[in-house]
Chains A and B, each alone.
Chain A
Amino acid sequence: MSKIFNISRREFLKTGAIISGGLILGFSLPLSAESLAKKSAKIFAPNAFIRVGTDNIITIIVNKSEMGQGVYTSLPMLIAEELECDISKVKIQSAPVDPAYNHTEWGHVQGTGGSSSVRSTWVQFRKAGASARMMLIAAAANIWKVDPSECSAEKGFVIHNKTKKRRSFGSLAEKASHLKPPKDVSLKSPENFKIIGKPTKHLDAKEKVNGTAIFGIDVKVPGMLTTLIARPPVFGAKVKGFSDEKTLQVKGVTNVVQIPSGIAVVAKDFWSAYKGIEALDIKWDEGNNAGLSTDAMRSHYSSLAKTPGVVARKEGEAKQEFMKAAKQITAEYEVPYLAHAPMETLNCLVDLKDNRCDIWTGTQLQTIDRNSAAAILGLKQENVHLHTTFLGGGFGRRANPHSDFVSEAVHIAKALKKPVKVIWTREDDIKGGYYRPMWYDRISAGIDDKGTLTAWMHTIVGQSVIEGTPFEQAEKKNGVDETSVEGANDIPYNIPNILVDLHSPKVGVPVLWWRSVGHSHTAFVVESFIDEIAHAANKDPYEFRRMLLKNHPRHKAVLELAAEKAGWDKPVEKGKGRGISVHKSFGSFIAQAAEVSVEKSGEVRVHKVICSIDCGRVVNPSTVAAQMESGIVFGLSAALFGSITLKNGRVEQSNFHDYPMLSMKNMPKVEVHIVKSEATPEGVGEPGVPPIAPAVCNAIFALTGKRIRRLPIDKNELKRI
């Protein structure tokens, strides 16, 4: 495939006209007939996901950000399936910001997240492809003076079935562009799929292997300056005063600018800016958060967890039944703040001209970032052109409803009237907030004398990630932030009495969704605790779950599959322990079985992970497997190492040496088994993460009898001397 490139809406029109000899096929999909009429319908219609050039080049415009989850392959597959073109030859272009590209489930926002890309475009993209194919067929039928029903399309050609006459899509592009999009578009029935469901290599692999893929940090414009920012040592601290005397003496430094997020040092290149930052002298007013410490928060959270919170789910009378139970079990679980730490640190390039602003960045929330920039600049939104590059990892960090990394770059460009690129250092990233919240959970269960689970009570304590964002209304129900309790309030186990409640304390640490959001802690708590109960009831933890899942066949099926592939019925090798977990998130059902051993030093080795997944109909099995591997690694980094702590308001970690990641030597062998399903396609980017921590901790228990209730796993607890 040739280069994936990225241009603004206006340039898109212009280039389109030049490249293809004036031909752009546009599609009006049922959703946006109105915006079609309003917008530049002369040349092409909005919801334009496809362009067919007279040169036979087919370009697919993808409105989701490619951050490793494979949308630049899976979404084009949906279009190519219906368009009948060769998937390996299409070009991919990132979409400009336009309502035509809004998320089909998020209202007026263009963005990528919630493992929703395939699900939310499943119908939209296939219809775009089918509609284009019908127009190309109609164009050929007109030329041949035959009925369109006598023609079909294949690999970029329209064919007259009887005479075998063929014409390439490119040769039909001009004629087709004069036709009206069909009103009724019918889609292939799945047994005729040729692309969907087949393992398809990632279309962007070549660029990513030869180093030409352009990430935000790589974009250059003429006259561009590089900026680093000296950021507050404490969240919310303000600059009291500063001296830039020494900084301005550093060769290459051109300006020093105060902006809301700190002091920006602008220079000809990164290294000059870096030295300029080191030479700055800043006095901070540290404000209210100077005393913050995660130790103190932990004791506060633990006492909150003993008091009733806002009810998220109530069925039956959990409290009474718990009191009556023959056996009562209570446990407290906790997980720390976590940084997303994508390999590409945050960055944003802003090129501000008189009445136009161009922004290049790898973002997951185009509309919100574009609008924030327009508001800061006092420009019309349509005069701000945001270009989405490849993202060197997102994991939620590049979906910030507060637009932090875009806004600050815009402030600097506004002050300087020069093109500036802000680059975050890794230290900025680790210390810069917007973490996965720290969570504290207290959970209790009652078992009757037959070993049946009769009552379940779960109190959750942790900050809300949606508070104060545009997503608050949609995600908050009866005072409960759904993203805080997801995976806990919808447990599938058959228990007659359930109570789940929530405390959302306000703390001055900025928090954000982190790959798998609430599930990143609830799965750990629920799937570890159910294991505890199984052991307390003297039952096999797999069989115990299975029995409680009789009303949840998809949970049960993945659980059984993982157990079978893991050889649950056979004893595990000596010196190893095996644990299992099952969890549903983002529409997908996943079970994981982990095999671990523990060294004398207490170090945990995860040898093997069997992962089964039912994500509905599979579009690209290669991507599903890759995302499971990826989620497992992400979850293991958190379970084994990840922890952000604060002392005196300061974040104690700073880079990968003290906020470590899983590396090759700790990589388990991962085996992915996909359940064949005809249900709607669901998420795969996040659901691989939640089940791994409990699967590993359950395995540790099976091996050592030690129950891990706090992440990351503390070696000292497992040390044998």
Chain B
Amino acid sequence: MFTLFINGIRRKVDVSPDTPLLWVIRDHIGLTGTKYSCGIAVCGACTVLIDGKAERSCQTFIKDIKGKKITTIEGIPESHSVKKAWIIEDVPQCGYCQSGQILQAISFLNEKPNPSDRDIDEFMSGCICRCGTYQRIRSAIHLASKLTAQGRKK
């Protein structure tokens, strides 16, 4: 039995210790917004926040996350500037990679609230979008950064 804190809720799961967090979230917690695509930490589709930092859940094992806070796409409020910016810039195509892109962007903007294009290249390049929405992701990150700054001023 492992206990995890996910999206503010405490959950117990009965899985083997080597189970990747991704499959705990999808198969045992039942949240499907977190996606599988490569399983080897090279695509970013499975990205979640662990204590606020973007991590690849396909290569994070349940035994290693004791006491840590996990946030999935479902735990991000609709009013979050990144989600808003994503809608305004009309980013998604097939949509499959977008949960991961959004969580990666949230974690990144927490660290760098006012990123340059070069920063975006560096922080976002681990998240593959086969549909090629990168240009819009870039605009959405810049917009989210602005929205957050405006929010703070108010």
Contacts and interface: CB of A to CB of B under 8 A. Distances in A.
B120 interface: yes
A667 B136 CA distance: 11
A537 interface: no
Residue of B33, B35, B95, B99 with highest tally of chain A CB at under 10 A:
B95
A209 B37 contact: no
Contacts of A204: 92, 95
B135 A665 contact: no
A67 B93 CA distance: 7
Contact of A270 (B27, B42, B78, B90): B27
Given A271-B27, A342-B96, A634-B130, 19 more contacts: A68-B93, A68-B131, A205-B90, A210-B78, A211-B72, A212-B33, A215-B95, A217-B32, A217-B36, A271-B19, A342-B94, A342-B130, A343-B128, A426-B38, A655-B39, A656-B128, A657-B40, A663-B127, A665-B121
B121 A341 contact: no
Given A205-B87, A208-B92, A656-B128, A667 B138 contact: yes
B72 to A, nearest CB: 7
Contacts of B124: 663-664
Interface residues of B, number: 59
A70 interface: yes
A550 interface: no
Interface stretch (A152-160, A388-396, A697-705): A388-396
Contact of A206 (B74, B87, B122): B87
B50 interface: no
Interface stretch (A78-86, A329-337, A483-491, A624-632): A624-632
Nearest to A672: B135
A367 interface: no
Given A209-B86, A632-B132, A655-B42, A270 B23 contact: yes
B92 A663 contact: no
Contacts, number: 175
Given A204-B92, A657-B42, A209 B98 contact: yes
Residue of A207, A426, A631, A657 with highest tally of chain B CB at under 10 A:
A426
Contacts of B16: 251, 271
B38 A214 contact: no
A182 B124 CA distance: 54
A50 B120 CA distance: 43
B38 A393 contact: no
A269 interface: yes
Contact of A390 (B39, B43, B78, B95): B95
A661 interface: yes
Interface in A614-659: 622, 626, 629-634, 655-657
A345 B33 CA distance: 15
A207 B136 CA distance: 17
B87 A663 contact: no
A426 B37 contact: yes
Contacts of A390: 94-95
Interface of A: 66-70, 201-202, 204-215, 217-218, 220, 226, 251, 269-271, 341-345, 390-395, 423, 425-426, 622, 626, 629-634, 655-657, 661-665, 667, 669-670
Contact of A344 (B37, B42, B76, B127): B37
B70 interface: no
Contacts of B38: 426, 655-656
B149 interface: no
Nearest to A209: B86
Contact of B134 (A215, A342, A667): A667
Contact of A629 (B94, B96, B133): B133
B11 to A, nearest CB: 15
Given A205-B90, A209-B83, A209-B86, A633 B132 contact: yes
A211 B37 contact: no
A64 to B, nearest CB: 14
Given A218-B32, A393-B94, A664 B137 contact: yes
Contacts of B120: 664
B109 interface: no
A70 B39 CA distance: 28
Interface in B10-38: 15-16, 19-20, 23, 26-28, 30-38
B92 A209 contact: yes
Contacts of B122: 665
Interface in B65-124: 72-74, 76, 78, 83, 86-87, 90-99, 102, 120-122, 124
B94 A664 contact: no
Contacts of B32: 211, 214, 217-218
Residue of B37, B98, B99 with highest tally of chain A CB at under 10 A:
B37
A343 B138 contact: no
Contacts of B4: none
A664 B121 contact: yes
Contacts of A629: 132-136
Nearest to A206: B87
A232 B9 CA distance: 43
A300 B81 CA distance: 57
Contacts of A657: 40, 42
A266 to B, nearest CB: 14
A661 B76 CA distance: 28
B83 A210 contact: yes
Contacts of B136: 626, 629
B90 A630 contact: no
B94 A344 contact: yes
25 contacts: A68-B92, A68-B131, A69-B93, A204-B92, A208-B95, A209-B95, A209-B102, A210-B74, A210-B83, A215-B35, A215-B95, A217-B32, A217-B36, A270-B27, A343-B45, A343-B130, A392-B35, A622-B90, A631-B132, A661-B128, A664-B137, A664-B138, A665-B122, A667-B132, A667-B135
B27 A345 contact: no
Contact of A210 (B15, B20, B73, B90): B73
B125 A663 contact: yes
Nearest to B99: A211
- 6 tightest Cβ-Cβ pairs between the two chains A and B: A211-B33, A633-B132, A208-B95, A392-B96, A68-B94, A68-B93
B127 A664 contact: yes
B139 to A, nearest CB: 11
A418 B50 CA distance: 36
B129 interface: yes
Nearest to A200: B90
A343 B94 contact: yes
A569 B24 CA distance: 58
Contacts of A632: 132
Nearest to B27: A269
